[in-house]
Amino acid sequence: MYTLLSGFYKYMVQKNEYCVLILGLDNAGKTTYLEAAKTKFTKNYKGMNPNKITTTVGLNIGKIDVSGIRLNFWDLGGQEELQSLWDKYYAESHAVIYIVDSNDRERIDESKETFDKMIASENLIGVPLLVLANKQDIVDCMGVREVKPIFKKNAHMIGRRDCMVMPVSALNGDGVDEGILWLVDSIKRNSHIRPPRNHDEM
């Protein structure tokens, strides 16, 4: 009897789980963004001190529960030699957050090339895409009006998918909520194409 009740309770409280990739060049602010998201959406979570965050070599994992679902984030290292590992995660993902350092004009073309390579993957066809122009707290950085046309140049590659470009400051948390909530809506809307993963598979 206990097993039956316990199983029923587990079934009732378990949330649908979705995997979200956080991609972008090194130093774009991916890990800082993940920490900001966890801080915003997880009660009593005290984020890492931004000064202590170092370059990701490999993978950072985080999760938040929002709007009745669980998002599992995979924050992947952005150095050129690590980008070749990204596509191993594409087939498992339900959405992609691509973070752009909008204060780094010198590398914006490199970031765009990396972005184009990513969205050309067959394993990401139709997957919702959130492009974040990060570091909006820095004076004279590129605003969304400057970043958006650069990343929408190859609109045919983005194809028919939910896609949004938004301003954000991972450092002070501005725009983090809006981006996550947009992503949740998009993931739910596309769950018939990419159903949630079961707990047993995680």
Closest CA to 33 of 189, 202, 142, 167: 167
Please give the annotated binding residues for Mg(2+), written as ranges: 31, 56
Per-residue HEC secondary structure of 5-37 comes to HHHHHHHHHCCEEEEEEEECCCCCCHHHHHHHH
- Residue positions forming the annotated binding site for GTP: 24-31, 78, 134-137
Q: Which helix (H) or strand (E) holds 134?
A: strand 129-134
Task: Report the distance separating Cα 7 and Cα 2, nearest Å.
Answer: 8
Residues annotated within the binding site are 24-31, 56, 78, 134-137
SS3 category, 137: coil
